[in-house]
Structure 1
Amino acid sequence: MQEAIASFDFAEYLEKARTRVEDALDASLGPEKPEKLRESMRYSLLAGGKRLRPILCLAACELAGGELEKALPTAVALEMIHTMSLIHDDLPSMDNDDLRRGRPTNHKVYGDAVAILAGDALLTRAFEMVSIRTEGIPSERLLKIIGELSLAAGAPGLVGGQVVDLDCEGKEVDLETLEYIHLHKTGALLKACVTCGALIGGADEKLLEALSIYARGIGLAFQIIDDILDVTASSEVLGKTAGKDLIADKTTYPKLLGLDESRRRADLLVAKAKSALDPWPEKSKPLLALADYITSRDR
C-alpha cells in the first residue's frame, strides 16, 4: 500500500483539484444583489484555504467510479457549509476571533449582522447547489445527499458540537467528551464529504461503510493536529490566531494527553483510516494521500 501511495503524484493531484474547486466556487456566486451580502459571502468563501472538504468529496466520487464534474456542485456546497461555520465561529458571541486565513474575519470587515446573514446565505445556497444546480444524478441519490448535509450541518453535527464546545469552556473535560465535540464539530462534515462524493459515484454499502471508518479516523486526526498546531505554530503560519484555545481555557488533546501522545494518537487514527480502504488500493490513492496530508500539514 505504501508503495502505491509513493507512486502517486499527490502535489500535482492537489494542485489540479484545488484549481477545479476554486473555479467552481468563484462561479457559484454571481453578480447578484444585495451587493453587500454577496461581497461578504465571497470574502470568506474565496479566501483560500486547504479546500480539503471539497477535494475529499471529489476523491470519494472518483473512488466510487463517478464523474468529477457531477460532484462539483456538492463539493462547492460542502465548502459553503464549512465557510458558514467559520464565519459564525469567529463571531464575538462564539470564539471571538479577529483573524481567519491570514486576514480580518468576516464580522471585522462587514459587521456582526451581515456576517451572520452571509453565513446563513451560504448555508442555504449549499442546498441550492445540490438540489437545483446538480445535473445527471438520480433524484433518490440527491435526496440522500441532502439528508447527509442536513445531519452534518445541524444539531446532530457541527451545530451540536459547537454548543457542547462552548459549554465546556473553562471546565474539566474528559477524553470521551472531547472526542464527542470533535466528531460532531469537525468529523460530521468530513464524513459527509466522503459519503456524498461516494453517493454521487453510485457507491455500494460496502464502500460507504469503509468510507465512514476512514472519515472518522481522519476527522479526529485532523482536530488533533489542529490542537497541536494551536500551541506550536505562529499566527503568521496558521493564518489565524494561535493559542486561542489556551486563552479560552478549552480542553485540547495536547492539554489532556501531551504533545507526544497526541501526535501518536493522530498517526494511529490515520493508519486505521487508511486500512479501511485496503480493498481499493489503486482508486483510493488520492484519499490515502489526503489522510497523510492531514498529519503532515503545518497550518
Structure 2
Amino acid sequence: MTKTFELNAYLGERRKLVDEAIVRALPDGGAGDPGRLKEGMRYAVLQGGKRMRPLVIIAACEAVGGAAEAALPACCALEMVHAYSLVHDDLPAMDNDLERRGQPTVHVAFGHAGGILVGDALLSQAFMALMRGADRVPAANLVAAARVLAHHSGVDGMVGGQALDLALGQDAHDLAALEQVHALKTGALYAAAGALGALYAGADADTVQSMETWGLKFGIAFQHADDILDDDQKALRAQALARVDQLVGECDALAAPLGDKAEPLRAISKWVRDRAHAAAAGVKAD
C-alpha cells in the first residue's frame, strides 16, 4: 500500500458494521419475552467489547477477496457464541464473576437459572444468525460454516478448552500443556473466525484452511498476550513472549501470498505482538 495503514480507523469502521448487524440479529425484547430471556440475550451481547473475533472474520474475508458486508452473518454468529461462553464462565459454578465491563454479570442481573438459559439461547441464536447469509454464500460454504462453528465451539474446541482450563488452573509449568488450553479455549474461536471469513467470501477449501490456521495461531498468541497483561501464568512468562513473536511470524507468512488485501490481518497480528511486549514491559495497553 502507498500510505500507512491505520488499524484503529479500520477497526472502528468495521466494528460499527458489526454492532449494527448484531442489534438486527438479536431477538427484540418487550412483549412476548419469556422470563426476560430476550432481554437477557441483548444484555449479554450489547454491552461492548472489542469484537475482535468478528473483526478477524471481516479481515479474513476481505483478505481473500470478499466484502465486509457479506461476512456480517458469520460475525453475529461468532460473537453470540463468544457471549454465551462468557455468560456461562461467569456463573457461580465456574468463575463466579459478579461484574463484567463494569456492569453486573448476567446471572447477577437475571438470576442463576436465567444466566444458564441466556447462554443456551445465544448458542441456538448463533446458528440462526449464521443462516442469514444463505442468499450470498455458496450452499457448500454455508454447510461448511455451520460445521466449522459447531466444531470450534464444542468439545473439540472452546468448551473442551474451558474444561482443560478448570483442571489446569493458574499455575502451569509446561508451555505445551498451557498452549493446548489456549488453542482450544481461545484459539478455536479465532480459528473459526479465519475460516468463516474465507467461507463467506466464497473461497476454496485450501484458502479456508489457510485462514483457519491463521486464526488458530493468532488466537494462541492473543491468549499469551492476555496472560501477560493479566499477570497470569508467571512461570512461563519468558517462553510465552517468545511464542507470541513466533506465532505472529507464522501468521504473517500465511498472509503474505494475499498481498495488500491482507494488510488488516498483518496489522491485527502486529497489534497482538505489540500488546504482549508492552504488557511485559509493564505498560497496560488495551
Q: TM > 0.5 between the two?
A: yes
Q: 1:170, 1:86 → 2: CA distance?
A: 18
Change (3 A) 1:171 1:279: closer
Contact 1:225 1:263 in 2 (8 A): yes
Q: 1:106, 1:221 → 2: CA distance?
A: 28
Change (3 A) 1:262 1:170: closer
Instruction: Look up the match of 1:291.
Output: 269
Instruction: Look up the match of 1:101.
Output: 101
Q: 2:23 aligns with which of 23, 26, 33?
A: 26
Q: Could you report, residue by residue, the CA deviation over 1:119-155 in whole angstroms, capped at 9, with x for unpaired residues? A: 1111100001112564221221110000000001110
Aligned residues: 274
Instruction: Look up the match of 1:12.
Output: 9
Instruction: Look up the match of 2:193.
Output: 193
Q: 2:235 aligns with which of 256, 264, 270?
A: 256
Instruction: Look up the match of 2:176.
Output: 176
Contact 2:193 2:212 in 1 (8 A): no
Instruction: Look up the match of 1:53.
Output: 53
Matches for 1:119-268 after TM superposition, within 5 Å: 119-132=119-132, 134-169=134-169, 174-231=174-231, 252=233, 255-258=234-237, 260-268=238-246
Q: Per-residue deviation at 1:208? A: 2.6
SS in 1 for 2:257: coil
Contact 1:221 1:270 in 2 (8 A): yes
Q: Per-residue deviation at 1:25? A: 1.0
Q: Could you report, residue by residue, the CA deviation over 1:67-113 in whole angstroms, capped at 9, with x for unpaired residues? A: 32221111100000001111111111111212222322111211111
Q: 2:130, 2:65 → 1: CA distance?
A: 19
Look up the equivalent residue of 1:290 and give its one-letter code: I
Instruction: Look up the match of 1:74.
Output: 74
Look up the equivalent residue of 1:166 and give its one-letter code: L
Look up the equivalent residue of 1:88 and give its one-letter code: H
Contact 2:173 2:236 in 1 (8 A): no
Change (3 A) 1:42 1:275: same
Contact 2:54 2:193 in 1 (8 A): yes
Report the TM-score when normalising by structure 1: 0.86
Look up the equivalent residue of 1:26 and give its one-letter code: V
SS in 2 for 1:279: helix
Please say which of residues 266-275 and 117-126 is displaced more in the overlay. 266-275
Q: Using CA pairs under 8 Å that are at least 6 residues apart, name the structure with larger relative contact order, 1 or 2.
A: 1
* Structure 2 unpaired stretches of 5+: 276-284
Change (3 A) 1:18 1:104: same
Q: Per-residue deviation at 1:5? A: 9.5
Change (3 A) 1:212 1:133: closer
Contact 2:60 2:197 in 1 (8 A): yes
SS in 1 for 2:137: coil
Q: Per-residue deviation at 1:295? A: 3.0
Please say which of residues 63-72 and 88-97 is displaced more in the overlay. 63-72
CA RMSD of superposed structures (Å): 1.9
Contact 2:138 2:202 in 1 (8 A): no
2:117 matches 1:117: yes
Q: 1:5, 1:103 → 2: CA distance?
A: 43
Q: 1:198, 1:89 → 2: CA distance?
A: 29
Q: 1:5, 1:153 → 2: CA distance?
A: 39
Contact 2:98 2:105 in 1 (8 A): yes
Change (3 A) 1:209 1:5: farther
Look up the equivalent residue of 1:274 and give its one-letter code: D
Q: Percent identity?
A: 41
Q: 1:60, 1:294 → 2: CA distance?
A: 16
Contact 1:63 1:283 in 2 (8 A): yes
Q: Per-residue deviation at 1:209? A: 3.3
